[in-house]
């Protein structure tokens, strides 16, 4: 009986502590911080810092979940985070951990290719409020040596994503400028009604209406990596929580790619 009461006291204290965690600060520091850690820290300290930042992200997610259990206003945020981290994001975290454990450049690049695929799959699966989520498409572009964006991985289905971005017209140049700024995000609710640079992702006339995009890079290390995009044929298929989920995935990808560059 005493042990049960003690456990209840400990649980109440833990709940209160987690409920009062600064969630935005935790997630804001943890995800971009991974990129800084894998770039600037070496040896055993490197592993410790990466682990600490992953724990921070996990604590932030747990805090949001607990808030959801006591406040219905957190329902959407909790559901989105659960889908991103534990649903689509669990393979991402595993792939990121394996990549950060590689000290050989060739092995790290192979692990990075797996991480990119998992990131694109998670973005397509989790970053959408579309009525037909199966029609959601996602892709990742990286900066090539020529300064343009090259298609690396795509789950696109209907239509064909352009293999190279940044070579034609004002919108292409605006897209390059956007991708050059670290972890910026953009949402377009209906591409046919807005004059936006995100209308250049497909060959010919776009078959998508709404789009979200996140640049991928590590500001502190001066690294610009590429662009992560998700599109849907439905108008208004994305909400603010989808944008933040994509930013989170973009931060995880930036962290992994920064590790590869550091080798």
Between residues 208 and 48, the one the model is more confident about:
208
Q: What is the pLDDT of residue 74?
A: 42
Between residues 165 and 3, the one the model is more confident about:
165
- Kindly report, residue by residue over 27-81, the tens digit of the pLDDT: 444 554 555 554 544 555 555 555 555 555 555 544 444 444 444 444 454 455 4
Q: How far apart are CA 47 and CA 142, in angstroms?
A: 26
- For residue 229, pLDDT over 90 is answered with yes
- As a whole-number percent, the residues of the chain with pLDDT over 90 amount to 32
Whole-number Cα distances in Å, 109 to 99, 114, 130, 132, 254: 8, 9, 34, 34, 13
What domains, with CATH codes, occur in the chain? 2-262 (3.30.450.40)
Q: What is the pLDDT of residue 4?
A: 62
Q: Which two tokens stand for residue 88?
A: 């689509």
Q: What is the pLDDT of residue 132?
A: 85
Answer yes or no: are the C-beta atoms of 249 and 214 closer than 8 Å. Answer: yes
pTM recorded for the entire structure: 0.70
């Amino acid at each position: 009986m005493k042990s049960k009461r003690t456990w209840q006291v400990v649980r109440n204290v833990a709940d209160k502590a987690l409920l009062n965690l600064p969630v935005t600060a935790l997630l804001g520091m943890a995800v971009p911080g991974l990129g800084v850690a894998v770039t600037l820290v070496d040896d055993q300290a490197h592993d410790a810092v990466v682990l600490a930042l992953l724990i921070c992200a996990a604590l932030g997610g747990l805090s949001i979940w607990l808030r959801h259990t006591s406040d219905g206003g957190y329902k959407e945020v909790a559901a989105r985070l659960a889908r991103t981290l534990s649903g689509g994001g669990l393979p991402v975290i595993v792939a990121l951990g394996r990549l950060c454990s590689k000290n050989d450049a060739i092995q790290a690049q192979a692990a990075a290719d797996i991480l990119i695929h998992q990131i694109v799959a998670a973005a397509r699966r989790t970053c959408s409020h579309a009525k037909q989520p199966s029609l959601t498409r996602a892709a990742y572009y990286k900066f090539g040596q020529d300064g343009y964006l090259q298609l690396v991985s795509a789950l696109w289905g209907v239509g064909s994503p352009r293999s190279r971005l940044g070579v034609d017209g004002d919108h292409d140049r605006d897209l390059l400028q956007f991708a050059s700024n670290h972890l910026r995000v953009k949402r377009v609710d209906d591409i046919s009604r807005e004059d936006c640079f995100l209308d250049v992702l497909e060959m010919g006339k776009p078959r998508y209406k709404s789009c979200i995009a996140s640049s991928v890079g590590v500001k502190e290390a001066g690294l610009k990596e590429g662009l992560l995009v998700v599109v849907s044929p439905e108008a208004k298929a994305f909400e603010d929580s989808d944008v933040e989920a994509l930013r989170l995935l973009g931060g995880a990808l930036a962290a992994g790619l920064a590790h590869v560059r550091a080798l």
